[in-house]
């Protein structure tokens, strides 16, 4: 795929529409009990952001979450309601990767970002979350 910068306004419009999907989900406003999300950059990589949601008690594990969007759309915030639900109900902390999106960042940039987040989590989970039990999940939200 050849990157065409003239399409960037259309791409931005589509990304905003995708991001708005998460805000309309049940439980997706702070008033309805979402746990707070913490945004941080990946240590050693200031270009990569992680969105972390922690349960109120000590986590039983940590889940690496890779948001949908085909590596071209989407954002970790789209899954805040789901990740907050998982933290509240089963007690896992979630780490969602804000990977670089195509077409501005050619394949395999997004995969490299996800791999970097996974490797960080393997090294840092015990220190950051108090557990070395890991989960990796892919979730498809039905249409």
Where is 101: in which H helix or E strand? none
pLDDT digits (tens, 9 = 90+) for 82-108: 899 999 999 999 999 999 998 889 999
> In angstroms, what CA-CA distances link 92 with 15, 58, 61, 81?
28, 9, 5, 14
CA distance 126 to 129: 5
48, 98 Cβ separation under 8 angstroms: yes
Give pLDDT, residue 26: 42
pLDDT digits (tens, 9 = 90+) for 21-80: 554 444 444 445 689 999 999 888 888 999 999 999 999 999 999 988 888 888 999 889
Give pLDDT, residue 124: 92
pTM of structure: 0.75
């Amino acid at each position: 795929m050849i990157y065409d910068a003239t399409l960037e306004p259309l791409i931005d419009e589509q990304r905003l529409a995708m991001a708005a999907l998460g805000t309309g989900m049940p439980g997706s406003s702070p008033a309805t009990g979402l746990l707070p999300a913490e945004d941080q950059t990946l240590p050693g990589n200031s270009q990569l952001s992680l969105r972390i949601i922690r349960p109120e008690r000590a986590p039983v594990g940590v889940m690496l979450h890779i948001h949908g969007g085909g590596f071209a759309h989407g954002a970790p915030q789209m899954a805040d309601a789901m990740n907050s639900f998982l933290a509240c109900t089963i007690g896992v902390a979630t780490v969602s990767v804000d990977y670089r999106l195509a077409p501005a960042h050619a394949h395999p940039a997004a995969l490299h970002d996800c791999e970097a987040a996974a490797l960080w989590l393997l090294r840092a989970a015990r220190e950051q979350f108090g557990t070395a039990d890991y989960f990796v999940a892919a979730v498809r939200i039905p249409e």
